[in-house]
Amino acid sequence: MPYPKPSEAALPSSDHSRSLFPILFGICFAAAFVGSWQLAQIQPGLLFEAEGRRNMARFITGMFPPDLSLNFLRFLVVPFFETIQISVMGTVLAIAIGFPLSLLGTASLAHAGILNDLEIAGSPGRRLARTLPYVLARTVMSAFRCIPEFVWAFMFVRAVGLGPFPGVLAIGVSYGGMLGKVYSEILENLETQPSEALQATGASRWKILIYGMLPQALPQLVSYTLYRWECAVRASAILGFIGAGGLGQQIELSMRMFNFHEVVTLILILFLLVAAVDFLSARARKAIV
């Protein structure tokens, strides 16, 4: 005998609540947009007023022709390589910081999932000992990445002085938090069957990580790391504005001296550098994947 169908009144009102969500979201977004427009003092007309047009014309006309003299290009060799070195060493430092933190901050390795259930079942003390490092690692990663690299550079310039080294430290610490978070999320979302099979054979946690998890995660880990290196190249140029060396410092000096024809040369060099790094990263990702 078939069961009676529930009446429409007894059905959950999920469709009704689902239909209301876009409306409520749209209202909240519109209110946030209007408030942000006012608080940020958005005034597009300032770009087209007489003074704004005059300043823009002065800047644009001063940019051309670019300074392509041999003396100036020879002078830029050292800042050019400084920018590359800051980005490379900053990314290496970020990996050195982020990867260990990601292992501690991966729930499936630290305290959750089938890899840990048998070891910590019925033992609150052991569960706490596994959970505490996880919480601390996630907290450190959040603290590192919530502060922009620009602010980190300000602090490190005060600590170690001007030059490329504070830029390396700023990128390493800030990007270390970002890499650690993404690494941990990649490791947490892997297929569990290889790790479970290794655990069934009596493999240790380190062997499970090396032979079961890292081979799966390696393409994604490398891909995101290369993307962060691309970001580090751009960041190293920005950090030069506060004395961290590289092309950014030369851009700041040229703008301060109103040598806009030098500025456009520096921007073109930076564009070519970023494009080259993007090309190399894309080729490396394809080779790995």
**Does pLDDT of 4 surpass 60?**
no
For residues 66 and 264, is the Cβ–Cβ distance under 8 A?
yes
Terminal alpha carbon distance of the chain: 56
Lowest mean pLDDT among 66-75, 80-89, 109-118, 257-266: 109-118
Length of the chain: 289
Write out pLDDT tens, residues 118-175: 565 555 666 666 678 888 988 999 999 888 888 888 888 888 888 888 889 999 999 9
pLDDT at 248: 82
Query: What one-letter code names the amino acid at 82?
Result: E
Instruction: Report, as an integer, the average pLDDT of 189-193.
Output: 77
Rounded Cα distance, 96 and 107, in Å: 20
For residues 225 and 217, is the Cβ–Cβ distance under 8 A?
no
Rounded Cα distance, 187 and 220, in Å: 10
pLDDT band at 198 (very low <50, low <70, confident <90, very high): confident
Q: How far, CA to CA in Å, does 11 sit from each of 1, 2, 4, 231, 289?
A: 22, 18, 13, 51, 48
Rounded Cα distance, 19 and 15, in Å: 6
Instruction: Report, as an integer, the average pLDDT of 190-199.
Output: 74
pLDDT at 113: 57
- Residue 153: CA count within 13 A, CB half-sphere: 24
Q: Residue with structure tokens 């938090």? A: 177
Rounded Cα distance, 142 and 172, in Å: 14
pLDDT at 11: 46
**Does pLDDT of 28 surpass 80?**
yes
Give the chain's domains with CATH numbers.
71-288 (1.10.3720.10)
| The overall pTM is greater than 0.85 | no
For residues 169 and 152, is the Cβ–Cβ distance under 8 A?
yes
Rounded Cα distance, 230 and 37, in Å: 32
Torsion, CA 267, CA 269, CA 273, CA 276, rounded to 10: 120
Instruction: Report, as an integer, the average pLDDT of 233-250.
Output: 81
